[in-house]
Amino acid sequence: MLEIWHEEVEGVYDQMVAWRRHLHENPELPFHEENTARMVGDILAGYGISVRRNVGGHGVVGTLKGAKPGPTIGLRADMDALPIQEENDVPYKSQVPGVMHACGHDAHTATLLGVAKILSRYREELNGTIVFIFQPAEEESPGGAIKMIEDGALAGIDLIFGHHFISSIELGNFSVPIGKATAAIDNFELKIIGDGGHSATPQTSVNPIVIGVQIVNQLHLLMSQKVNPNKPVVATFTTFNSGVSQNVIPTEATISGTIRTYDQSESKKIEGHFKKIIKHVTVTYGATYELDYSDGYPSLINTEKEAVRLRKVLSEIEGSKVIELPPIMASEDFSYYVQKIPGVYFLTGSKTEDPNTQFPHHHPRFDIDEHAMKNGARAFLSIVDYYLVK
């Protein structure tokens, strides 16, 4: 049966490409995936799959019951895009100013739709149930996963699987982390409140830009002195906004970013040190501040037993191999699913010799080799075959 399913991927490939390109042209930001969700729900319903809409927001859950009893497995794809202006010159370029699929979620959605199309023809061969989970808002905390869980998306599911196309792994390769797969993330937004004035007389003002620069530098210095090198931590400043004129010292500056760790205790240490730095630097320069520091997604930890099994399952896909990679410092709200039930999050390579497939995620030139969707589909089909057929 699996060989037939894998062959059928070729037959649905053009449809997956068409779906993916439509989604790429019409991206929607986290918590705003209304049209994407409608499209997904309509396609699933068209294949006779039972559809539940508006799950935890714009989430879509499709249920395909096999003819015979057995376990229930969940397959998850995320649907949201990012606030990035696309710089690719491709026929399917984003038509929404300032928004693009710069992380591959369009391909995740199209791939899982292709899998649903194939499996909808084979209910009689299935010993159990497949739940297709199309999740909104992976890119923005608090995320769509936790909202879908609260709305019952995992009810009755025994195991869950998700994947991500990745531009740092060669096409045809998979990576299945055992244990830790992604980092936990903390988010911060800092407002520094100084005292504005004329650029010719800085001594009469409290410049929040100068203070902000000191805080950025001090945190990076802290990382080299206070972080255990055996416990990786990544602190990244992603916005720094202040001022409106060359000759005016502004009153306020706003800085935001993320801190990522695998170890919760290390995360709390960094948070404590960071807050001390902010307090002492602002006091030294005579400023005040407001800090919003919040916990984001927890570290994603794959179920060891199922990860070991999945490595074997994926290694048997013709033309593919499973490679060993360390955990990545990105974060993923798939972590909430595997806190509730056993599951595995794996990576599917999309990199080729074409430089257009090698840009990092969240880059305005990010794109994938669409043939990677064949591999993603075959991976999900192999999972279904292992648990619901063999």
Q: What are phi and psi of 240, to 5 degrees?
A: -150, 105
Which residues make up each annotated binding site for Mn(2+)?
Answer: 103, 105, 139, 164, 362
Which residues make up each annotated binding site?
Answer: 103, 105, 139, 164, 362
Q: What are phi and psi of 126, to 5 degrees?
A: -90, 125
Tracing tokens 């070729």 back to the chain, one arrives at 10
DSSP letter at 5 equals H
Determine which one of 8, 80, 367, 385 is catalytic: 80
Task: Based on the residue annotation, tell me whether 80 is a catalytic residue of this protein.
Answer: yes
Angle 190-194-199 from CA coordinates, rounded to 5°: 125
Enclosing H/E stretch for 343: strand 343-351
Determine which one of 138, 186, 266, 332 is catalytic: 138
The answer to whether residues 111 and 52 touch, using CB atoms and an 8 Å cutoff, is no
Task: Based on the residue annotation, tell me whether 89 is a catalytic residue of this protein.
Answer: no
- CA distance from start to end of the chain: 9
| Token pair belonging to 137 | 């808002």
Q: What are phi and psi of 328, to 5 degrees?
A: -100, 155
Closest by CA position to 382, among listed 110, 174, 77: 174
The set of catalytic residues is 80, 138
